[in-house]
Structure 1
Amino acid sequence: MHELVEADPYYDPYDFAIDDDPYPVWQRLRAEAPLYRNDKYGFYALSRYADVAEGLHDWRTFRSGRGTVLDIISSGVQLPPGLILFEDPPSHDVHRRILARVFTPRRIAAVEPIARQFAVAALDRLGGAHGFDFIADLGAAMPMQTIGALLGIPQQDQSTIRDTTDRIISLESGEPGEGMKVEPPNLELIAEYVDWRARNPSDDLMTDLINARVEDADGTERPLTRTEILTYISMIFGAGSETTTRLIGFIGQLLSEHPDQRRQLVADPSLIPGAIEEVLRFEPPSPVQGRYVASATEYYGHTVPEGSVMLLLNASANRDERRYADPDRFDIHRQASHVSFGFGLHFCLGAALARMEARVAVEEVLLRWPDWEVDYAGAVRAHTASVRGWAKLPVVTR
């Protein structure tokens, strides 16, 4: 077995044909090249569960401060403060503590009726239609509106912010993005809301951020800077809506492809949370985590030099035969853990929100349409630098 492979098997994160179904390639990497090197784009990759989980946890070796996307890490650009996805301790810990205070169980519970209201309105508009699009009619709108309500961004401007985020992360062709933007989008638009909310405080996340105070490494306490507030809001809105949109699309796909399991959910809705966890394991919206290698490390007898780029293939880890029995079988009763929300200090703060939104979406769809089938002739994949999923997923209902 070749433990370090440069040519065959070949993994290219910019190859749309591979991205549409990367699992056969990742299976070969796990078996033949658990430490993989791609010379074309200059990265290493780990694909087995044990290696990925350890790598996600080992922030001292695998750093996020230069970005978590291959394009950004390779570019060497300076990242703005406040992007906790792209930070390491101690600044990461300072900023994460603020968000941890606002992404509380109380706030998630309070926003659930809002999410359900949006889902109900979106689906009820379809009336007697014999089909709908899981993305256009539900997946793109409901998460955006829910996170917008949580932040206090007016509904009429939420689409503008989301569309800009989509343009920034989308890949136009099977090549790295040219000069991929890493600055927060729509700062001027968001700034208007921040100024207005500062004068008109409310019980929303934006007000919490305006009032938040942080303690710097030297012990000095201060409010968040304007740039930090704007960056927080932009990051939360973009990351919070994009990944949940793709998750809802995968739910539509997998429950269409497994009608017997879908009917079990109709008969017993208490199974829905477990089904969502299996969707997250089977098709995670954020499948690859990039890291900068801060110090030389060794895998399978080979040294990964300091300064390298490492891709931690968490979606591959979720299908590792060493971890899961029959990992390529979708099973809503599996009740297995996964690394789709990360691991360690970078575990996704919005995980509870995403799970709640996905559960609400499934509950409301099944109440109206217990049976559907994907129209793959009209389905379109989304290709971005950071997430996988569907851009369009029309279904025929019965």
Structure 2
Amino acid sequence: MTGQAAAAPPSSPFDAAFVADPYPTYAALREAGPVHQVTLPDGSAVWLVTRYADVRAALADQRLSLDKANSDGSWRGFSLPPALDANLLNMDPPNHTRIRRLIAQAFGPQRIAGLRPRVEAAAQELLDRVAAHGHADLVADFAGPLPVTVISDLLGVPEADRAALRGWTDVMLSPPADDPRAGARVIMRLQEFLVALIADKRRQPGDDLLSAMIAARDTEADGGTDRLSEDELTSLAFLVLFAGYENSVHLIGTGLLALLRHPEQLDAVRAAPELPAGAVEELLRYEPPAPVAFRRFPLTDVTIGGVHIPAGAAILVNVAAANRDPLRFDQPELLDVNRSDSGHLTLGHGIHYCVGAPLARLELQVAIGAVIRRFPKLTLAVDPADLSWRPSFRTRGLRSLPVTF
């Protein structure tokens, strides 16, 4: 390590205290230096980029590959079967460009705006179920099932399969500690499910995203350059399903918690006709559901923040640390729903900017707006220190959010 790097941090800063509140660790790393070499819980050695300017530049740097074939072998991570691994998070141009172009239209403003009535209705249906009780777990009762409904509608998943789908995604998010193989089994079940669902949609297409993707796969019988392979089709469906579910669950849960812990901010958004767009952006900045962006591998030796990183080494860009960089944001540790300067990196930057960003914003706006208006006396039912978080440095999500109203 050369240049501006400070003294090395602990070999792995991702301990139990970190899971409960990672932001002091992020702040210490960011202040100590722009880039640190750390060891992840799985034993992978990575270079962690912490400061806003460097993180933003790295997200758009096409010298940093997402293709695992460019790794030097130091990255362990988790592996998916080939039928699920051929997705945008493992691709560089030109394949990334080709597939993103095919999927981007499905997440365009017109299609997403058309989903709003269904998202609003689903949110109210879920709140109706708990309204009479005076208490709820807003993760289990609301933030969890709402994105399953939305993504299932988008992909055309039958109602009868949605409960199983949510169960599988929950296991993927947090495998049981006493069953280390549970995640692998669930991944295989999801692959089998998606293969069968694609076959059903081929026989009987619907007005849904998956049918549209199948048409893009099958229409060009001559094997044109834009045609999806079968693995790419299955992998794309998996990515839409899993990323759309996981990120939305965490965004809704942590967004509600942030407002409950800042009553003056809750009052400010409750006074508006709907959750303001600026408040949505501030919640995205304040608690990103994926604190670190997907790993990258330099195609050649690179220098980030004055630190030399060899080709093939694994790089993680710390979006959560960047979003609270005082060199970029005024009083970044404060939640301010009236903040005029967003500029957060939660949804990425550059060619890998989140293709589902319009849907994420819609779900966050509708979900939080529905809860705070339905329950004007909403309060936390436990001390914030007693809340349980999912044990991962890759995601920032609550296991539960007990409230009374």
Fold match by TM threshold 0.5: yes
**SS, match of residue 381 in structure 1:** coil
- Partner Cα separation in structure 1 for residue 104 and residue 119 of structure 2: 20
- After superposition, residues 246-261 of structure 1 pair within 5 angstroms as 246-261=250-265
Tell me if the contact between 1:214 and 1:221 (Cα under 8 Å) persists in the aligned partners: no
Which residue, 352, 356, 361 being the options, matches 1:350?
Answer: 356
Paired residues, number:
390
The structural deviation recorded for 1:308 is 0.9
Matched, 1:332 2:333: no
Judging changes above 3 Å, is the alpha-carbon distance between structure 1 residues 203 and 304 closer, same or farther for their aligned structure 2 residues?
Answer: same
Matched, 1:115 2:123: no
**SS, match of residue 228 in structure 1:** helix
- After superposition, residues 39-50 of structure 1 pair within 5 angstroms as 41-50=44-53
The structural deviation recorded for 1:347 is 0.5
AA matched with 1:30: R
Residue segments in structure 1 that go unaligned for 5+ positions in a row? none
Matched, 1:25 2:25: yes
The structural deviation recorded for 1:167 is 2.4
Tell me if the contact between 1:136 and 1:392 (Cα under 8 Å) persists in the aligned partners: yes
- Partner Cα separation in structure 2 for residue 110 and residue 230 of structure 1: 25
Partner of 1:382: 390
Judging changes above 3 Å, is the alpha-carbon distance between structure 1 residues 129 and 276 closer, same or farther for their aligned structure 2 residues?
Answer: same
**SS, match of residue 43 in structure 1:** strand
- Partner Cα separation in structure 2 for residue 103 and residue 77 of structure 1: 27
- Partner Cα separation in structure 1 for residue 74 and residue 204 of structure 2: 37
**SS, match of residue 8 in structure 1:** coil
The structural deviation recorded for 1:84 is 0.5
Matched, 1:35 2:41: no
- Partner Cα separation in structure 2 for residue 277 and residue 68 of structure 1: 34
The structural deviation recorded for 1:179 is 11
Superposed CA deviations along residues 326-367 of structure 1, whole A, max 9, x for unmatched, are 110110001322000011011001111011011111221122
**When the two structures are superposed, what TM-score results if normalisation uses the length of structure 1?**
0.89
Partner of 2:13: 12
**SS, match of residue 286 in structure 1:** coil
- Partner Cα separation in structure 2 for residue 205 and residue 68 of structure 1: 32
- Partner Cα separation in structure 1 for residue 140 and residue 146 of structure 2: 10
**SS, match of residue 311 in structure 1:** strand
Superposed CA deviations along residues 60-99 of structure 1, whole A, max 9, x for unmatched, are 2x21112999x99435968735311121111111111111
Tell me if the contact between 1:375 and 1:395 (Cα under 8 Å) persists in the aligned partners: yes
Judging changes above 3 Å, is the alpha-carbon distance between structure 1 residues 9 and 264 closer, same or farther for their aligned structure 2 residues?
Answer: same
Judging changes above 3 Å, is the alpha-carbon distance between structure 1 residues 200 and 72 closer, same or farther for their aligned structure 2 residues?
Answer: farther
Moved more, 364-373 or 239-248: 364-373
- Partner Cα separation in structure 1 for residue 181 and residue 304 of structure 2: 32
Tell me if the contact between 1:45 and 1:312 (Cα under 8 Å) persists in the aligned partners: yes
AA matched with 1:364: A
Superposed CA deviations along residues 230-289 of structure 1, whole A, max 9, x for unmatched, are 221121111101100000001211111111221122221345322121111011001102
The structural deviation recorded for 1:184 is 6.8
AA matched with 2:54: D
**SS, match of residue 383 in structure 1:** coil
Tell me if the contact between 1:281 and 1:338 (Cα under 8 Å) persists in the aligned partners: yes
Moved more, 289-298 or 184-193: 184-193
**SS, match of residue 186 in structure 1:** helix
Superposed CA deviations along residues 84-142 of structure 1, whole A, max 9, x for unmatched, are 11211111111111111211212111111111111111001113222212211110011
Which residue, 83, 90, 106 being the options, matches 2:87?
Answer: 83
Identity of aligned residues (%): 32
The structural deviation recorded for 1:11 is 5.0
Partner of 2:205: 201
Judging changes above 3 Å, is the alpha-carbon distance between structure 1 residues 225 and 303 closer, same or farther for their aligned structure 2 residues?
Answer: closer
Tell me if the contact between 1:74 and 1:309 (Cα under 8 Å) persists in the aligned partners: no
Tell me if the contact between 1:263 and 1:370 (Cα under 8 Å) persists in the aligned partners: no
Matched, 1:283 2:283: no
AA matched with 1:65: D
- Partner Cα separation in structure 2 for residue 277 and residue 317 of structure 1: 15
Runs of 4+ in 1 over 6 A off after TM superposition: 177-180
Which residue, 306, 310, 318 being the options, matches 1:305?
Answer: 310
Partner of 2:68: 66
The structural deviation recorded for 1:219 is 8.8
Tell me if the contact between 1:185 and 1:234 (Cα under 8 Å) persists in the aligned partners: no
**SS, match of residue 398 in structure 2:** strand
Which residue, 360, 370, 378 being the options, matches 1:364?
Answer: 370
Tell me if the contact between 1:66 and 1:72 (Cα under 8 Å) persists in the aligned partners: no
- Partner Cα separation in structure 2 for residue 75 and residue 255 of structure 1: 33
Tell me if the contact between 2:274 and 2:369 (Cα under 8 Å) persists in the aligned partners: no
**SS, match of residue 397 in structure 2:** strand
- After superposition, residues 113-262 of structure 1 pair within 5 angstroms as 113-170=117-174, 186-213=190-217, 220-221=224-225, 223-262=227-266
**SS, match of residue 58 in structure 2:** helix
Which residue, 323, 329, 351 being the options, matches 2:328?
Answer: 323
Tell me if the contact between 2:389 and 2:397 (Cα under 8 Å) persists in the aligned partners: yes
Judging changes above 3 Å, is the alpha-carbon distance between structure 1 residues 88 and 243 closer, same or farther for their aligned structure 2 residues?
Answer: same
Judging changes above 3 Å, is the alpha-carbon distance between structure 1 residues 103 and 301 closer, same or farther for their aligned structure 2 residues?
Answer: closer
Judging changes above 3 Å, is the alpha-carbon distance between structure 1 residues 287 and 67 closer, same or farther for their aligned structure 2 residues?
Answer: farther
Partner of 2:56: 53
The structural deviation recorded for 1:168 is 3.0
**When the two structures are superposed, what TM-score results if normalisation uses the length of structure 2?**
0.87
Tell me if the contact between 2:275 and 2:365 (Cα under 8 Å) persists in the aligned partners: no
Moved more, 338-347 or 154-163: 154-163
Judging changes above 3 Å, is the alpha-carbon distance between structure 1 residues 111 and 5 closer, same or farther for their aligned structure 2 residues?
Answer: same
Tell me if the contact between 2:171 and 2:183 (Cα under 8 Å) persists in the aligned partners: no
Moved more, 242-251 or 121-130: 121-130
Moved more, 3-12 or 366-375: 3-12
Moved more, 74-83 or 356-365: 74-83
